[in-house]
Amino acid sequence: MQKAIFLDRDGVINSDEGHYYVHREEDFVLTPKLGECLKMLQEAGFLLVVVSNQGGIARGLYGVQEVERLNNLLRERMTKYGVALAEFYSCPHHPDFGKCLCRKPQPLLVQKALARFDIDASRSYFIGDRESDMETAHNVGVKGVLVKRNAGIVEAVKEILNFEL
């Protein structure tokens, strides 16, 4: 079994300051030192998986294609650092329009990744900027690491790698 880092997208991977529902390339600004941090985690043996609520789809603000375009842009930008993102899991729903089983803090999307990639939850982490991310971590048995929104993951990486030493 392998270990993994689950990452929220908006507010963690990219800044969502001034753009609550990030869906345009020109608004997709990566948080500080993201590439370097992900490279360190990957070199420490972690599989990297993005898990994101994309409620703007349900609200009609953008479509699945825009989410996929930004995910592909992120993959492309991370190749400069030698970083491979294993998969992206997104929930297109919003609670204003009904209930679903995949919106964080529901565990479904992380459970899919755990099964698909044979991930050991007890050796894995979820880096997020909201309490719902920490609830998701708790719901699937991974360690949650809360970061300040839009500030990057440098401190989280230091914390995780210290745990791993």
Sheet of strand 46-53: strand arrangement? 87-91, 46-53, 3-7, 125-128, 143-146
Q: What whole-number distance in Å separates Cα of residue 131 and Cα of residue 133?
A: 5
Q: Are 10 and 17 in contact (CB under 8 A)?
A: no
- Give backbone dihedrals phi and psi of 88, rounded to 5 degrees, phi first: -120, 130
Q: Which runs of E-coded beta strand occur in the chain? A: 3-7, 14-15, 29-30, 46-53, 87-91, 125-128, 143-146
Which residues are the active-site residues?
A: 8, 10
